[in-house]
Amino acid sequence: MSHPLFDISGRTALVTGSSRGIGLALARGLAEAGCTVVLNGRDADRLERAAAGLPGEVHTSVFDVTDGSSVGAGMAEIEDRVGPLDILVNNAGVQLRAPLLEFAESDWHRLLDTNLTSAFLVGRAAARGMTERGHGKIINICSLQSEVVRPGIAPYAATKGALKMLTKGMCADWGPYGVQVNGLGPGYIETELTGPLVRDEEFSAWVRRRTPAGRWGTTQDLVGGVLFLASPAADFVSGQVLYVDGGMTSVL
């Protein structure tokens, strides 16, 4: 029998950027735990296909997390159609790699908008209802690059480092109203986003060598952490980032 501290059945959860990859795996985990799940992305057909593979009550909501008016309309529509949100996972993100001297200004803005501004926009919209109702869980998908950085990925690391501090700031502002805000920091996980790195034999071998667990992570590796942070077991956990990285951020 599962412990009641981990019971999140009947809760309603939105996972941004859940048409594939980590977001879809997290949405599946929440659905399997008995949550009503709302999938989000920019492509309605892709979202419908993703929703078809999940158990239980699953909804889709098409909006662009970088656009304030799109977020506002999408979040209002979710509240009307599905009901109040108990859990928000800010997962949508992009990774763009290039040496800083060659990094385009437009790419800088795209990274900031998708990885950081999105969490502010969607988090703020969700927290309005959560703080009124006196409970809610927000989980921001950070990265091992919230802590450490390699050459060629400084702008991405800057967005994820800032997302860690936004997590702490949300915890400070919304904690008094019963909302816990935490981060989950994945290590190197095999998804479409990391496809080119996985296919690069040299890089792939480097990841295996550098990770105490000796392998790349899978999207499934991240599910337990999110279920914990979304559950009553984490009611006194806030402002933290839980790194799920096979130990990589802990070793030189």
Residues that bind ligand NDP (CB under 6 A): 16-23, 40-43, 46, 64-66, 91-95, 114, 141, 143, 186, 188-189, 191-194
Active site residue 156: yes
Q: Per DSSP, what are the bridge partners of residue 244?
A: 186
Q: What is the C-alpha separation between 159 and 114, in angstroms, rounded?
A: 9
Residue 159: phi, psi to the nearest 5? -70, -40
Q: What is the C-alpha separation between 172 and 185, in angstroms, rounded?
A: 20
In the complex, the smallest distance separating the C-beta of residue 99 from ligand NDP, rounded to whole angstroms, is 19
Q: What is the C-alpha separation between 174 and 247, in angstroms, rounded?
A: 30
Joined together, the tokens standing for residue 196 give 């080119």
- b/e sequence 26-64, b meaning 16+ C-beta within 10 Å: bbbbbbebebbbbbbbbeeebbeebbeebeeebbbbbbb
Identify the active-site residue in 156, 177, 188, 243.
Answer: 156
In the complex, the smallest distance separating the C-beta of residue 83 from ligand NDP, rounded to whole angstroms, is 21
In the complex, the smallest distance separating the C-beta of residue 155 from ligand NDP, rounded to whole angstroms, is 12
Which of these, 184, 57, 61, 58, lies nearest to 119 by C-alpha position? Answer: 184
Going 208 to 213 to 215 to 221, the CA torsion angle's sign is: negative
In the complex, the smallest distance separating the C-beta of residue 17 from ligand NDP, rounded to whole angstroms, is 3
In the complex, the smallest distance separating the C-beta of residue 106 from ligand NDP, rounded to whole angstroms, is 15
Q: What is the C-alpha separation between 220 and 18, in angstroms, rounded?
A: 14
Tell me whether residue 121 or residue 130 sits nearer to ligand NDP (CB atom): 121
Tell me whether residue 32 or residue 48 sits nearer to ligand NDP (CB atom): 48
The catalytic residues are 156
